[in-house]
Amino acid sequence: MDEKTQVATALQTALPDMSIEDIKNKLERPKTNKNGDYAFPTFFLAKELHKAPQMIAGELIEKIDQTGFEKVVAAGPYINFFLDKANVGAGILKEILADPEHYGNLDLGHQANVTIDMSSPNIAKPMSMGHLRSTVIGNAIANIMKKVNYNPIKIDHLGDWGTQFGKLMAAYEMWGDEEAVKADPINTLQKYYVKINTEADEHPEYAEAGREWFRKLEDGDEEAVRLWKWFRAESLKRFMKVYDMLDVQFDSYNGEAFYNDKMDEILQLLNDKHLLQKSRGAGIVDLSKYDLNPAMVQKSDGSTLYMTRDLATALFRKRMYGFEQSLYVVGAEQSYYFQQLKATLATMGFTWSKQIHHIPFGLMTLNGKKMSTRKGNVVQLEEVLDESIKLARQQIAEKNPDLANADQVAQEVGVGAIVFHDLKNERTNSINFKLEDAVKFEGETGPYVQYAHARAESLLRKAGNPDLAGADLKLNDEESWNIIKLLGQYQETIKRAAVKYDPSLIGKYALSLAKAFNQYYAHTRILVDDDQKLARLALVQAVSDVLKSALALLGVKAPDEM
């Protein structure tokens, strides 16, 4: 039984009409240890019992089963519970050491499928810093969902179709150099794309040429298809290099092109249900009952749109995976669009539209400036990762010049710094990215948390990695308890992160645990030989294990030495 359940069970002896879950939902955590470990407010009972909250607290405490607590006291309108620190702490440490890999696991999902639409870069364009957020937030959510026993299915819905490919083919026809593309595909194609967009105002015929090439592609023209396949294959190679650096894998790379032959069914279904209305020649679906603008699913010339494709995508994924949840990790600026998508599916009679969730995130700026592929002011993610690894390597050389596997650690620290810098922030907040801030070994950074883990491992090596099985794990001091309380909150933090789709809760938890451990390390003689040495080392081992687990949920490695 976890501590929160223990407190709720004790309270239920005095409040038999309340369920354990209702009581747990009312419990609060006091800001300081002097007010106990859990507090139960009685304000909500005042109206029902016609008594002052202070009086209710005083009466309830007489009925509470206080077995297993250090003490339970009434403090004004609150009932404060002080846990039996030594026994509770020993139980938490024992649980972690027995199975560190599965500590914090929950069964919220019962192995149900969750599709996660994430990353989704556009073919023939470099992966920019703008793609970082969707990629790492989606990956962390997948890890968290797996930890609570869902089966995450990560989908890289590649932007591999659309009029921009027509523009690119037109540009290649005018200025293309096959050898230059083969030597550096993404950057060369990017130059062509920027050039045709930059000069389109002076040369309106460029836009027409782009439309013509896209028509050829849609009609299956041999040369257009050849170029498209070539651009796609070369782009995927480059994307895979970045994904390998981030240690992100996908279960599907089906992009927009995959759904070309699946949109007719959507239009047919809309027609059959008499939902497809005409407005100025275009096909729309009325969403007024949802207080939304109509969803346009067909242009006046009969061609389809993103909405048509996304309706087909949602239906295919439901049939293919039978998902219980379908998550779209896409920027906050698309929130209204996803409301329309869900409403259109609901209008079509698909009740599972309620299982679709847009996971929005804020804009990332670089040194205060917005990035744009079309205008050419884009910062490539691969370059930022390389630079971060280089900065990490420099700091490692200064702090630990004799580190055996310095290059591998620099890779793990440099990449981890970029990932953690994003994920420690609430995803809906905008981020202004500064590389130097992310790679610092001090402050609220990934390297700071990694260093706390490495410090714990170093202590265990100095102690000779003792066998802790069967040791007396009871600790009574305040700083030990501060850490143990945090360790005991890991599962609850994971649960909230899963329910809210918010990896920042894990990031903030890891920072809190690292700070508490560093404080403990500074004030406690951990390796001194006394009767609590093994208990202190068990605490160090538990911190190391949980920090490693939390970082792994975020997609960040935890080196044993730095």
Whether the pLDDT of residue 411 is over 70: the answer is yes
Residue 376: pLDDT band (50, 70, 90) is low
pLDDT beyond 60 at 375: no
Using the predicted structure, report yes or no on whether residue 368 has a pLDDT greater than 90. Answer: no
* 381-554 maps to CATH 1.10.10.10: no
Convert the pLDDT of each residue in 149-170 to its tens digit. Answer: 999 999 999 999 988 899 999 9
pLDDT digits (tens, 9 = 90+) for 427-438: 999 988 889 899
**What is the homologous superfamily of the domain 3-83 according to CATH?**
Arginyl tRNA synthetase N-terminal domain (3.30.1360.70)
Q: Where are the alpha helices (DSSP H) in 101-248?
A: 132-147, 163-175, 178-183, 185-198, 204-218, 222-246
Using alpha carbons, list the distances in angstroms from residue 173 to 181, 201, 217, 225, 372: 13, 19, 14, 14, 24
Average the pLDDT over 260-284 and give the result: 95
Domain residues of the chain, as ranges?
3-83, 381-554
Question: Which secondary structure element, helix H or strand E, spans residue 421, and what is its range?
Answer: helix 406-423
Three-state SS for 101-114 is HHCCCCCCCCCCEE
Model confidence pLDDT, tens digit, residues 228-242: 999 999 899 989 999
Residue 272's nearest CA partner among 349, 354, 351, 340 is: 349
Residues 135 and 129: their CA atoms lie apart, in Å, by: 10
Residues 194-203: contacts with CB under 8 Å, at least 24 apart: 194/374, 194/375, 194/376, 195/171, 196/167, 196/168, 196/170, 196/171, 197/167, 197/374, 197/375, 198/375, 198/376
Decide whether 3-83 matches 381-554 in CATH topology: no
| pLDDT at residue 115 in the model | 98
Angstrom distances, CA of residue 40 to CA of 30, 35, 48, 466, 481: 10, 11, 17, 41, 21
Strand partners, 283: 278, 298
**Mean per-residue pLDDT, 124-145:** 93
Mean per-residue pLDDT for 77-88? 95
The DSSP secondary-structure symbol of 293 reads P
Ranges 22-26, 230-234, 288-292, 507-511: which has the least confidence? 230-234
Report pTM: 0.92
Mean pLDDT score of the chain: 94
> Predicted confidence band at 371 (pLDDT cuts at 50, 70, 90)?
low
Average pLDDT over residues 385-400: 94
The single residue listed with the structure tokens 């037109």 is 170
Residue 377 pLDDT class (50, 70, 90 cuts):
low
Express each pLDDT in 490-507 by its tens digit: 999 999 999 999 999 999
The alpha carbon of residue 422 and the mean position of all alpha carbons in its chain are separated, in whole angstroms, by: 9
